[in-house]
């Protein structure tokens, strides 16, 4: 027979064993080991398009970078992940269908390019003011417009996603119109769901019409405007496959094709206030105004992972992550160009764009996971 003191000792030993077992279990499940992280290879490939360096030389904690790439390898739809610091490519890897030369549709990242082309049209005097009316550029459609509110829509409203047209995913008629390929007549046909300038509503068609304005004002198609004033000066060439609508206009709201490294050049251009390798491409004023936040916490998602206070500028998103303010171009499926201003950093991801009406809504769980992964990394970075 065990004495009372013996029972007490036995219970204490059992409790200690249980706590130790639980602790080990929690530690095993809390993340990669030191050995796991040491095995992660994110060394950039050497080409003449980017100077490469290491996280350590550019002031980044290599352990945090290794964790980021360890986590990225777990995502089944991600194609690429690149980190740039102080103008250097410090980390790079490709996954699944991705490669250094991979080109696929970058979805709504295109909107940020369209915004840039609108700004260039303004800089060069093709557009006189962003307070010009939308219908000034559509005399062929203006006579069909019966809603007087549409006559008050400005380019500024369009840039800020405040033109009054509905988010297509919440409006069956607009959703069908988006996949029709016939967009000019929809300026008149699709009803407004808010007064212009009053409410943020994410509208793909509005971005497409903005691209048509940039093209018509410049007297060139959108690809030609880009090649002459933006893509060419950046030293990048869009991939074949940027589709046009039935009237021949390149889709201003989506599906431009660039490599991940090419996307990073665009991000670096905005991080540098409109200059790239000493050349002024876009005015500093346009870049500044584009990256301001005109709308915050009005979108359906106010927080994604560690990105909080999600806002919108001129076809660029904004958010806070930890102690960092960021802007980002964001495309369906997990296409991202993220600017971390205080750290002089650009993070790029590409992923399966889930292109198509039937597959569109399958993307969110994968897209959200990629955004959360990037947000966790930025959130963990200390302020310099």
Q: What's the pLDDT band for 299 if we cut at 50, 70, 90?
A: confident
Q: Is residue 8 part of a domain?
A: no
Q: Is the pLDDT of residue 366 over 90?
A: yes
Exposed/middle/buried for 206, CB within 10 Å: 0-12, 13-18, 19+?
buried
Total number of domains in the chain: 1
The answer to whether residue 161 scores a pLDDT higher than 70 is: yes
pLDDT average, residue stretch 210-233:
98
Give 198-237 as a DSSP string: TS----HHHHHHHHHHHHHHHTS-HHHHHIIIIIHHHT--
142, part of any domain: yes
In a domain, 100, yes or no: no
What pTM value is reported for the model? 0.91
Q: In the prediction, which pLDDT does 300 show? A: 80
50 belongs to a structural domain: no
Inside any domain, residue 337: yes
User: Tell me, what CATH number does 257's domain have?
Assistant: 3.40.710.10
* pLDDT(28) > 80: no
For residue 268, the enclosing domain spans 109-380
How large is the average pLDDT for residues 318-323? 97
161 within a domain of the structure (yes/no): yes
CA distance 333 to 14: 49
Tokens of 83: 């980190």
Res 16: pLDDT: 46
369 within domain boundaries? yes
Given a cut of 60, whether residue 369 has pLDDT beyond it is: yes
* Cβ–Cβ under 8 Å, residues 307 and 293: no
- pLDDT value for 30: 63
- The reply to whether 167 falls in a domain is yes
């Amino acid at each position: 027979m065990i004495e009372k003191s013996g029972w007490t000792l036995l219970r204490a030993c059992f409790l200690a064993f249980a706590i130790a077992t639980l602790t080990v279990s929690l530690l095993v499940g809390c993340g990669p080991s030191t050995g796991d992280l040491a095995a992660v290879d994110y060394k950039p490939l050497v080409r003449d398009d980017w100077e490469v360096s290491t996280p350590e030389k550019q002031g980044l904690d290599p352990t945090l970078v290794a964790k980021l790439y360890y986590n990225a390898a777990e995502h089944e739809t991600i194609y690429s992940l690149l980190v740039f610091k102080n103008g250097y490519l410090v980390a790079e890897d490709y996954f699944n269908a991705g490669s250094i030369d991979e080109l696929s549709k970058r979805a709504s990242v295109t909107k940020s390019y369209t915004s840039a082309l609108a700004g260039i049209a303004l800089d060069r005097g093709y557009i006189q003011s962003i307070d010009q009316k939308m219908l000034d550029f559509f005399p062929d459609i203006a006579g069909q417009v019966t809603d007087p509110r549409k006559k008050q829509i400005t380019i500024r409203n369009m840039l800020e996603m405040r033109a009054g047209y509905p988010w297509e995913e919440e409006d069956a008629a607009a959703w069908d119109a988006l996949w029709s390929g016939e967009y000019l007549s929809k300026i008149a046909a699709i009803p407004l769901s808010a007064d212009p300038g009053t409410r943020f509503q994410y509208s793909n068609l509005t971005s497409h019409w903005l691209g048509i304005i940039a093209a018509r004002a410049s007297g060139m198609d959108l690809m030609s405007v880009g090649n002459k004033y933006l893509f060419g000066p950046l030293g990048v060439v869009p991939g074949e496959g940027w589709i046009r609508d039935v009237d021949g206009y390149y889709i201003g709201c989506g599906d431009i094709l660039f490599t991940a490294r090419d996307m990073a050049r665009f991000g670096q251009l905005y991080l540098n206030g409109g200059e790239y390798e000493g050349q002024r491409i876009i005015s500093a004023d346009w870049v500044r105004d584009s990256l301001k936040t005109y709308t915050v916490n009005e979108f359906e998602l106010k927080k994604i992972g560690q990105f909080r206070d999600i806002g919108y500028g001129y076809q660029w998103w904004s958010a806070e992550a930890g102690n960092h303010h960021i802007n980002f171009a964001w495309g369906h499926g997990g296409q991202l160009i993220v600017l971390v201003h205080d750290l002089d950093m650009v993070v790029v991801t590409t992923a399966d764009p889930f292109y198509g009406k039937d597959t569109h809504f399958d993307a969110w769980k994968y897209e959200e996971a990629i955004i959360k992964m990037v947000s966790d990394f930025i959130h963990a970075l200390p302020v310099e």
